[in-house]
């Protein structure tokens, strides 16, 4: 049954103008049919003998149904270019799949998609595959909006194994997780805790690295014990760190876009542990004032820090921080610099250890502590950090000059 | 009632409109004794003599005549033989009919019926979708029913409406799409319908593409995806609320249309969702349209030119895997 | 040329519309030049006789008149309120277009005067549609629908399609082509070939040729066409030659208009011709014409003054919705 007009789905046989065994010529109208639009004749495409007629008068057939078969000679087939029906002749009861000239909405068997071209990602740039997974760390606008509603940060949901595309955490995963931990013991985080958390989270967005070395403390302790009042060890380190930084100002810079921003002054903070957090009062112009000159300010700031009453003028603006984790009995740590700073110098606890003395040909006891320097690797390299730390060590060997 | 087709819905709606409302008449090429190129007005001239009027081949004048008749209080229905030919009537519709109410306070309650969309073999000038063009102009209501019930009810509502309506009927659905009767769910004219509920992604579409989308969704359900299909029904005004509510459920949007890809209804859907619903999205909103060439003649080219269940499925997989 | 006594009443009505239009348009020109009117001002200067006759041959409240841009005389003759004109040009919210559209786009569809759009020819099928609707409602008896177009607009497809439709439907439509010799700046020879009046035969409708600046001739031809349509003789096409005595709009000085045309018979001002004809026919006395002018001036001054005191549109309070039944909040 041909497609006799646009949007025609079927047609009814009005009259069969041929019979099985009849001889027909190409273009003879052999069957009269009626569509919703008109009555018209169905023609044969080639001459031959009507071999079979499946169609019956008065019956309605879908477009594409085989109504009958004409047997034609090879010459006639070649002359007219008609297609030859296969061995598995369809019957009206089993109409051939109605193709290609009709189409029902929602039907599609054959692929009309262009063949897929696999593009290899290239480290040299394009082409890379468009779209695709953005990885587990990707937070969609929808997920972000839900997290904002709940007051959550990216790190807060790091415990959740994502079930979304590329292993990404979905809103559903988040809700499941929140349901899972509901009823677990919990407490409210203090404002101090949240402030530290926020600062550490921001700082952690950078590639941080740490170098460390032991620094001998005999000279420093000896000199200090002779002083009255006795300045804290941390103050000497602060002063030495300030001088070392002034000698290597590039290491104290911070990166903004394609710019390294250098410090206007060598102000260095000191980490003060308080209940449920850390405060960092900042001592100004450490490079320009000697230890005795700094002593008053330093002690006042540390004391105020412990009371959580750091004065306004001592808040922020530092270029680095010194933290004495040795006071907790620790030998080694990798402290995290403040988000606005590039460096943090950590002091381990002092310890008497045996060191090989080449001149004496024996182990001798020395007093030393491990110092660690954590830095933003975007700005400072390991070598630069090492030189800086070494310089601090040198300066600390002559405490009287500090 | 025995089985009824989409074209029957259009014809019967017009029959009832003519019977119930003396303000209604039909004007178009071959709509009289011949019953229209697609038989959408078959038998109506005999039943309503003088009110089903054959026009010359003059699309501009046909639309202009309807505007004049509407000014006179009539509710004319103009049948374009093919939506494609309404380009000749475009000026009357977008500059005259569309501007009239806002300029003068006098409404133009006319309906322009556009037999739209492709069927195999129809080629570049008998297959076009015109809804995006008309929707661009303020003052027109543009509808595109996808079901037999909608074809019937939305035509009746369109003709009753005081505004000029572009009624886009899809030729592919005329005889293939059948239903037991003309009933629908009584949605108001301008509301979209959730044709198929889902939770992983939303396909916003209209007209014949609703059926292609449902087919694609059925295939994806075998892979465990639940795809929601929103049938816009009314192109303009667009039911943004229903779209947003669906995106809020699924987080992913595929805007699907049979029209050309540059701008248009799907771009409008994506734009609205991106602007007002960014926080609802798990993936960038996607569009799928026909190709940016004239509509091809050969059925194989035609099938590849328009979205199919397969290409819709591909687009959805990409969307779901973002 | 004297006018037959039968025409006294209609000639005087047409002449008064002409006088009012000329006085009004002189004021509009002045308001434009004073910066009070934004956008365009398009005058019917030189077309008053043709337009005024057409407007006064129609019956307000019964007939339909779709004026084009140079039809102030016709509009006035058909009963348009002076305030509709001043309010539309000055953007008053009290006007029929409320500042949403301006100048000659105004209309009163409820009073049989559709509001034109700028696309030439588009109004012709609209008048045909109104007449077709009146026929369907059984109200067409004795009704005439008229519209004007220019020598330029007669080139559009819309014009052709509509005349063909009107002829097929045998509608009582009178289409008047005011051939003012220029479509904006394009002269007749670049706009069309042959005689415009010959087209009537092509559509199978009756054609009339009139001297467009001659009141007496317009009364006979335009009056004849309207009467024929009213008698049910189908659509009528009137072609009237005249000359635009201004620019295309007031932004245009019309420097391209040929001097010979200005000096020739087409260049004569229809106002002067009409006044002479009324006097020589004994329809008016010396001074009557001047009294009409004075009366028109007073009314125009009053309308402009009132309009200038009226509020202009408030953009914040505007209803930004182009549809009546749907789409107020969302589009």
Q: What are the structural domain ranges in chain A?
A: 10-80, 193-401
pLDDT at A230: 85
Of the residues C100, C129, C140, C204, the best mutation for testing chain B's interface (the one with the most B CB atoms within 10 Å of its CB) is: C129
Q: Which domain holds residue B64?
A: 4-179
Is residue B184 included in any domain, yes or no? no
How far, in Å, CA of A377 to CA of A375, rounded? 6
State whether residue B12 is helix, strand or coil.
helix
Band (A227; pLDDT cuts 50, 70, 90):
confident
pLDDT at A156: 84
Sort out which chain B residues have CB atoms less than 8 A from C326's CB and list them: 141, 161, 163, 189-190, 237
Is residue A145 less than 8 Å (CB to CB) from chain B? yes
Q: Token digits for C13? A: 């009505």
Whose tokens are 């007031």? That residue is C250
Position A127 pLDDT exceeds 50 = no
How far, in Å, CA of C255 to CA of C140, rounded? 45
Position A76 pLDDT exceeds 60 = yes
CA distance A172 to chain B (A): 11
The phi and psi torsions of C291 (rounded to 5 degrees) equal -65, -40
Pick the residue from chain A with its C-alpha nearest to B217: A106
* Beta-carbon contacts of residue A233 (< 8 Å; ≥ 6 apart): A217, A220, A221, A224, A324, A347
Half-sphere exposure of residue A305: CA atoms within 13 angstroms, side-chain side: 22
Nearest to B282 among A7, A104, A143 (CB): A143
CA distance B60 to chain C (A): 6
Q: What is the pLDDT of residues B32-80, one digit of tens each?
A: 999 999 999 999 999 999 999 999 999 999 999 999 999 999 999 999 9
Q: Token digits for C99? A: 């500042």
How far, in Å, CA of C100 to CA of C93, rounded? 9
**Quick check: B212 and A105 CB within 8 A?**
yes
Provide the 10 A C-beta neighbour count for residue B3: 10
* Beta-carbon contacts of residue C61 (< 8 Å; ≥ 6 apart): C111, C112
**Kind of pairing, strands C64-66 and B75-79?**
unpaired
Domain A10-80 has CATH 2.40.50.100: yes
Q: Token digits for A47? A: 């001459």
Residue C116 DSSP code: P
Touch of B by C (3+ CB pairs closer than 8 Å): yes
Touch of A by C (3+ CB pairs closer than 8 Å): no
Question: Do B175 and B202 belong to one domain?
Answer: no
State whether residue B28 is helix, strand or coil.
strand
Sort out which chain A residues have CB atoms less than 8 A from B251's CB and list them: 140, 142, 171
pLDDT at C259: 95
Is residue B264 included in any domain, yes or no? yes
How far, in Å, CA of A153 to CA of A144, rounded? 9
What is the residue-wise DSSP string for B139-150?
Answer: T-EEE---SHHH
The phi and psi torsions of C226 (rounded to 5 degrees) equal -65, -40
The phi and psi torsions of B25 (rounded to 5 degrees) equal -145, 165
CA distance A150 to chain B (A): 14
Position A374 pLDDT exceeds 80 = yes
Average pLDDT score over residue span A114-119: 65
* Beta-carbon contacts of residue B103 (< 8 Å; ≥ 6 apart): C97, C100, C101, C105, C115
pLDDT at C93: 95
Average pLDDT score over residue span A375-399: 95
Which chains, if any, share at least 3 CB pairs under 8 A with chain B?
Answer: A, C
B139-175 burial, b if ≥16 CB within 10 A, otherwise e? bbbbbbbbbbbbbbbbbbbbbbbbbbbbbbbbbbbbb
CA triplet C39, C44, C47: central angle to 5 degrees?
160
Beta-bridge partner residues of A122: A125
Q: What is the pLDDT of residues C228-262, one digit of tens each?
A: 999 999 999 999 999 999 999 988 989 999 999 99
Is residue B188 included in any domain, yes or no? no
The ipTM is 0.96
Is residue B187 included in any domain, yes or no? no
Average pLDDT score over residue span A312-320: 90
pLDDT at C142: 97
Nearest to B171 among A3, A7, A37 (CB): A7
CA–CA distance from A134 to each of A129, A386, B320, B321 (Å)?
A: 12, 37, 12, 10
pLDDT at A5: 76
How far, in Å, CA of A181 to CA of A179, rounded? 6
Position A95 pLDDT exceeds 90 = no
pLDDT at A98: 43
**Quick check: C161 and B55 CB within 8 A?**
no
Sort out which chain B residues have CB atoms less than 8 A from A166's CB and list them: 321
CA–CA distance from A301 to each of A143, A221, A272, A326 (Å)?
A: 43, 23, 9, 20
Sort out which chain A residues have CB atoms less than 8 A from B314's CB and list them: 113
Q: Where a domain ends, among B118, B148, B179?
A: B179
Sort out which chain B residues have CB atoms less than 8 A from C330's CB and list them: 237-241
* Strands of the sheet with A10-16, listed across from one edge: A39-43, A29-34, A10-16, A60-62
Question: Do B239 and B314 belong to one domain?
Answer: yes
Among A345, A344, A343, CA closest to A378: A343
pLDDT at C329: 58
Query: What's the maximum distance between 2 C-alpha atoms anywhere in chain A?
Result: 131
Position B81 pLDDT exceeds 90 = yes
pLDDT at A126: 45
**Kind of pairing, strands A10-16 and A23-24?**
unpaired
> Which of A65 and C53 is assigned the larger pLDDT?
C53
**Quick check: A112 and B120 CB within 8 A?**
no
pTM score of the predicted model: 0.85
Nearest to B91 among C119, C324, C330 (CB): C119
Total of domains in chain B: 2
Q: What is the pLDDT of residues B97-121, one digit of tens each?
A: 999 999 999 999 999 999 999 998 9
Touch of A by B (3+ CB pairs closer than 8 Å): yes
Question: Do B63 and B126 belong to one domain?
Answer: yes
How far, in Å, CA of B44 to CA of A39, rounded? 20
Nearest to A108 among B119, B309, B321 (CB): B309
pLDDT at A253: 87
pLDDT at A161: 86
Is residue B18 included in any domain, yes or no? yes
pLDDT at A132: 45
Q: What is the pLDDT of residues C270-286, one digit of tens each?
A: 999 999 999 999 999 99
Q: Where a domain ends, among B126, B148, B179?
A: B179
Which residues in chain C come in under a pLDDT of 70? 1, 327-330
Position A96 pLDDT exceeds 60 = no
Average pLDDT score over residue span B174-181: 94
Q: What is the pLDDT of residues B240-290, one digit of tens each?
A: 999 999 999 999 999 999 999 999 999 999 999 999 999 999 999 999 999
Position A335 pLDDT exceeds 50 = yes
How far, in Å, CA of C126 to CA of C136, rounded? 15
Position A131 pLDDT exceeds 50 = no
State whether residue C92 is helix, strand or coil.
coil
Among B238, B216, B236, CA closest to B226: B216
Question: Do B162 and B70 belong to one domain?
Answer: yes
Position B123 pLDDT exceeds 70 = yes
Question: Do B52 and B143 belong to one domain?
Answer: yes
CA distance B223 to chain C (A): 37
Band (A6; pLDDT cuts 50, 70, 90):
confident
**Kind of pairing, strands C206-211 and C186-187?**
unpaired
Q: Are B151 and B9 in contact (CB under 8 A)?
A: yes
Position A125 pLDDT exceeds 80 = no
Question: Do B79 and B209 belong to one domain?
Answer: no
Peptide bond into A344 cis (omega under 30): no
Q: Token digits for A181? A: 């931990």
Q: What is the pLDDT of residues A257-299, one digit of tens each?
A: 899 888 889 999 999 999 888 999 999 999 999 999 999 999 9
Beta-bridge partner residues of A273: A278
Nearest to B58 among C118, C137, C165 (CB): C165
**Quick check: C324 and B107 CB within 8 A?**
yes
Interface subset of B 168-187, CB within 8 angstroms of A: 171-177
Helix (H) / strand (E) containing C5: none
Q: Are A392 and A371 in contact (CB under 8 A)?
A: yes
Q: Are A176 and A169 in contact (CB under 8 A)?
A: no
The ranges assigned to domains in chain C are 5-308
pLDDT at A103: 66
Structurally, at CATH architecture level, domain A193-401 sits in 2-Layer Sandwich (3.30)
Fold of the domain spanning C5-308: Rossmann fold (3.40.50)
How far, in Å, CA of A104 to CA of A106, rounded? 6
Helix (H) / strand (E) containing A260: strand A259-261
Position A106 pLDDT exceeds 70 = no
Residue B94 DSSP code: I
Band (A99; pLDDT cuts 50, 70, 90):
very low
> Quick check: is B126 catalytic?
yes
- CATH number, position B94: 3.40.50.970
What percentage of chain A reaches a pLDDT higher than 90? 52
Sort out which chain C residues have CB atoms less than 8 A from B237's CB and list them: 323, 326-327, 330-331
């Amino acid at each position: 049954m041909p497609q006799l007009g646009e949007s025609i789905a079927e047609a009814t046989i009005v009259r069969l103008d041929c019979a099985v065994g009849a001889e027909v010529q190409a273009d003879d109208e052999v069957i009269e049919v009626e569509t919703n639009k008109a009555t018209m004749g169905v023609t044969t495409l080639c001459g031959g003998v009507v071999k079979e007629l499946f169609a019956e008068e008065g019956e309605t057939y879908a477009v594409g149904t085989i109504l009958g078969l004409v047997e034609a000679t090879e010459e006639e087939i070649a002359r007219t270019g008609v297609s030859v029906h296969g061995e598995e002749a369809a019957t009206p009861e089993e109409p051939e799949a109605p193709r290609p000239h009709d189409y029902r909405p929602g039907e599609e068997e054959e692929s009309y998609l262009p063949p897929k071209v696999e593009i290899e990602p290239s480290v040299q740039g394009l082409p890379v595959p468009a779209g695709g997974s953005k990885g587990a760390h990707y937070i969609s606008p929808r997920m972000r909006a839900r997290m904002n509603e709940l007051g959550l940060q990216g790190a807060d949901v790091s415990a959740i194994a994502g079930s979304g595309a590329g292993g990404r955490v979905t809103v559903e995963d988040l809700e499941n997780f929140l349901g899972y931990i509901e009823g677990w013991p919990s407490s409210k985080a203090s404002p101090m805790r949240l402030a530290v958390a926020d600062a550490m989270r921001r700082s952690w967005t950078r590639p941080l690295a740490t170098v460390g070395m032991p620094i001998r403390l005999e000279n420093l302790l000896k000199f200090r014990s002779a002083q009255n009042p006795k300045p804290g060890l941390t103050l000497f380190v602060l002063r030495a760190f300030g001088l070392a930084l002034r000698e290597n100002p590039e290491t104290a810079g911070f990166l903004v876009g394609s710019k390294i921003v250098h410090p206007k002054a060598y102000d260095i903070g000191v980490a003060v542990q308080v209940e449920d957090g850390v405060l960092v009062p900042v001592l100004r112009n450490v490079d320009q004032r000697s230890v005795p000159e700094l002593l008053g300010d330093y002690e006042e700031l540390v004391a105020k820090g412990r009371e959580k009453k750091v004065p306004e003028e001592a808040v922020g603006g530092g270029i680095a921080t010194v933290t004495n984790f040795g006071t907790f009995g620790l030998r080694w740590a990798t402290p995290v610099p403040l988000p606005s700073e590039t460096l943090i110098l950590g002091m381990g606890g002092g310890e008497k250890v045996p060191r090989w003395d080449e001149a004496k040909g024996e182990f001798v006891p020395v007093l030393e502590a491990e110092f660690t320097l954590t830095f933003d690797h975007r700005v400072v390299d390991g070598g630069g950090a090492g030189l800086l730390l070494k310089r601090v060590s040198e300066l600390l060997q002559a405490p009287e000059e500090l | 009632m025995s089985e009824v087709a989409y074209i029957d819905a259009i014809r019967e709606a017009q029959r009832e409109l003519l019977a119930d409302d003396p303000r209604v008449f039909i004007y178009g090429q071959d709509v009289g004794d011949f019953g229209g190129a697609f038989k959408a007005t078959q038998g109506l001239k005999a039943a309503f003599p003088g009110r089903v009027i054959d026009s010359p081949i003059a699309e501009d004048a046909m639309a202009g005549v309807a505007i004049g008749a509407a000014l006179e209080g009539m509710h004319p229905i103009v049948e374009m033989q093919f939506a494609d030919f309404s380009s000749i009537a475009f000026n009357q519709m977008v500059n005259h009919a569309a501007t009239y109410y806002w300029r003068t306070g006098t409404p133009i309650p006319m309906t322009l019926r556009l037999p739209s969309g492709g069927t195999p073999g129809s080629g570049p000038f008998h297959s076009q979708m015109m809804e995006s063009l008309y929707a661009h102009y303020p003052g027109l209501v543009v509808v595109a029913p996808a079901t037999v019930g909608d074809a019937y009810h939305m035509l009746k509502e369109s003709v009753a409406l005081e505004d000029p309506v572009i009624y886009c009927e899809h030729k592919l659905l005329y005889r293939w799409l059948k239903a037991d009767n003309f009933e629908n769910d009584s949605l108001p004219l301008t509301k979209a319908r959730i044709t198929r509920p889902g939770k992983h992604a939303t396909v916003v579409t209209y007209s014949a593409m609703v059926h292609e989308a449902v087919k694609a969704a059925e295939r994806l359900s075998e892979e465990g995806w639940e795809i929601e299909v929103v049938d816009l029904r009314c192109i303009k005004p667009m039911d943004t609320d229903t779209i947003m509510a669906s995106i809020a459920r699924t987080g992913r949007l595929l805007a699907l249309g049979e029209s050309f890809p540059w701008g248009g209804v799907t771009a409008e859907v994506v734009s609205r969702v991106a602007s007002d619903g960014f926080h609802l999205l798990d993936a960038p909103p996607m569009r799928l349209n026909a190709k940016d060439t004239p509509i091809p003649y050969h059925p194989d080219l035609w099938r590849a030119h328009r979205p199919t269940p397969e290409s819709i499925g591909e687009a959805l997989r990409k969307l779901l895997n973002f | 040329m004297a006018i037959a006594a039968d025409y006294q009443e209609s000639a005087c009505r047409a002449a008064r519309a002409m006088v009012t239009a000329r006085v009004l348009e002189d004021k509009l020109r002045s308001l434009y030049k004073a910066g009070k009117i934004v956008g365009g001002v398009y005058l019917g200067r030189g077309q008053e006789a043709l337009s005024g006759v057409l407007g006064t041959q129609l019956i307000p409240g019964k007939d339909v008149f779709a004026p084009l841009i140079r039809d102030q005389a016709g509009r006035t003759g058909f009963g348009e309120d002076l305030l509709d004109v001043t309010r539309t040009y000055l953007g008053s919210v009290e006007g029929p277009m409320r500042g949403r559209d301006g100048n000659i786009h105004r209309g009163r569809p409820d009073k049989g005067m559709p509001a034109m759009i700028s696309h030439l020819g588009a109004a012709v099928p609209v008048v045909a549609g109104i007449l077709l609707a009146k026929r369907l409602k059984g109200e067409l008896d004795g009704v005439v629908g008229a519209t004007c177009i220019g020598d330029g607009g007669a080139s559009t497809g819309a014009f052709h399609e509509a005349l063909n439709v009107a002829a097929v439907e045998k509608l009582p439509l009178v289409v008047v082509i005011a051939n003012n010799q220029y479509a904006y700046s394009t002269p007749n020879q670049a706009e069309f070939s042959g005689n415009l009046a010959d087209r009537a035969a092509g559509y199978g409708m009756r054609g009339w040729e009139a001297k467009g600046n001659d009141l007496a001739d317009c009364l006979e031809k335009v009056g004849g066409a309207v009467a024929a349509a009213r008698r049910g003789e189908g659509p009528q096409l009137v072609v009237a030659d005249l000359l635009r005595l201004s620019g295309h709009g007031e932004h245009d000085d019309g420097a391209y208009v040929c001097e010979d045309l200005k000096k020739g018979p087409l260049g004569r001002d229809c106002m002067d011709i009409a006044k002479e004809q009324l006097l020589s026919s004994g329809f008016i006395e010396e001074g009557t014409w001047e009294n009409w002018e004075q009366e028109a001036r007073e009314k125009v001054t009053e309308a402009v003054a009132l309009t200038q005191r009226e509020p202009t549109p408030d953009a914040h309070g505007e209803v930004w919705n182009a549809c009546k039944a749907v789409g107020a909040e969302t589009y």
